[in-house]
Amino acid sequence: MSDAADTPLLELRGVSKTFGAVQALDKVDLSVPAGKVTALVGDNGAGKSVTIKTISGLWAPSEGQILWQGKPVHIHSPNDAEALGITTIYQDLALCDNLDIVQNMFLGHEKLRFGLLDETAMELEARQTLADLHVTTVRSIRQPVASLSGGQRQSVAVAKAVMSAAKLVIMDEPTAALGVAQTREVLDLIKRLSSQGTAVMVVSHNLNDVFAVADQISVLYLGHLVAQGPASDFDTQIVVEFMTTGEASRPREQHAAASQSAGTGASAQ
């Protein structure tokens, strides 16, 4: 493996963020490898949202450094993040209900022909992108987004990110509002996205979902990064322990073996 391949796509070094007297993040060292799914987990108030908002440029870190492909960068605004190739999909998805799928996917980046909207070119490209992502449950890409299910809306938001040539897609609780089948749909989409070489960072509460898709897990606890490693090093129990107490009572291997023998193991691979 070359050096470049070992360099994480995104790296946070000693990043802290304070709001007045409140220390929301304390010297977080987080790394996001390219082309993999990283899950960022933590209890309420652990600093997950602060972390992704820092990465996506809503505010600057109070301290520390952000490295993008090994080089230090300053992300001062969402536009800076987008220019680097970081797209964040918040829970509200930021879609316009009255516009159709194609219109939403190209919103703000419309293709023009003679100065006018080139609907044909946009529809062709949107169709191709959706096909590449195997988004097949949407029967017409000219239907308004208002008519889509939660999972389909999530798919449109992801396709929109792909279309903007994102290298890292951050998804905030992508499955929180979804039913079983739709959750499946979105998890498949996340896997497909990473198999196409796009890094995905998933922020989630739902450990079943996390173990279903994540290659790497990072656990935040009260603003500290308390654990980070390949998903195979964790299981549900140990993650819960990290999330709630900030430490694990036993070494990971032991823990994993114990829980596997107890029949509750959910660790991936």
Partner 1 sequence: MTGTIDDPVASPKGTEEEGAKPAPGATSSSAIDSEQLVVLAPNVLADSVGDYFGAWWRRIKGGESGALPIIVGLIVICIFFEVQSSSFLTATNIVNLFVQAAFIILLGMAELYALILSEIDLSIGFVGAVGAAISLALIGSPQNWPWWLGIIVGMLACIVIGAFQGTIITRLKIPSFVVTLAGLLGWQGVLIYVFDVDKGAVGGVITVSNNIIDDLVSGNMTPWVGWIVLIVSVGLFGLVALTRTARRRSQGLTAPPVGVTIMMIGAVAVAGFVLVFVCNLNRGVLTTVEGVPWVIPFIVVVLAAQSFLLARTRLGRYIYAIGASPEAARRAGIHVSWIRTVAFALCSFTAGLAALVYASRLGSFSVGFDGGTYVLYAVAAAVIGGASLFGGHGKAIHPVLGGLVIATLTNGLALLNISTAGTDIATAAVLLVAVAVDSTLRRRGQSGTT
Q: Is residue 95 near partner 1 by the rule CB under 8 A?
A: yes
Which of the ranges 44-52, 91-99, 198-206, 256-264 carries the binding residues for partner 1, by CB under 8 A?
Answer: 91-99
User: Is 172 one of the binding residues for partner 1 (CB under 8 A)?
Assistant: no
Return the axis-axis angle of helices 150-163 and 180-195, rounded to nearest 10°. Answer: 10
With tokens 């996205």, the residue in question is: 193
User: Binding segment for partner 1 among 64-72, 99-107, 189-197, 230-238 (CB under 8 A)?
Assistant: 99-107
CA dihedral 159, 161, 163, 164 (to 10 degrees): 170
- 88 three-state secondary structure: strand
Mask for 106-145, x = binds partner 1 (CB under 8 A): -xxxx-x--xxx--x--xx--x--xx--x-xxxxxxxxx-
Among 34, 67, 99, 240, binds partner 1 (CB under 8 A): 99
32 touches 201 (CB < 8 A) = yes
Handedness of CA 185, 203, 234, 198 (dihedral sign): positive
Question: Given the DSSP bridges, would you call strands 86-89 and 168-172 parallel, antiparallel or unpaired?
Answer: parallel
Residues of this chain, 150-169, that bind partner 1 according to CB under 8 A: 151-152
The distance from CA 148 to its chain's CA centroid, rounded to whole angstroms, is 22
Which one, 182 or 267, has the nearer CB to partner 1?
Answer: 182
Residue 38 vs 87, nearer CB to partner 1? 87
Size of site (CB under 8 A) for partner 1: 43
Could you tell me the smallest distance in angstroms from the CB atom of residue 215 to partner 1? 25
Task: Name the residue among 60, 52, 95 with its Cα closest to residue 77.
Answer: 60
Cβ distance to partner 1 smaller for residue 103 or 216: 103
Q: Look up residue 135 and give its amino acid.
A: V
* Structure-token pair, residue 201: 């960072």
Residues within the interface to partner 1 (CB under 8 A)? 78-79, 82, 92, 94-99, 103, 107-110, 112, 115-117, 120, 123-124, 127, 130-131, 134, 136-144, 146-149, 151-152, 181-182
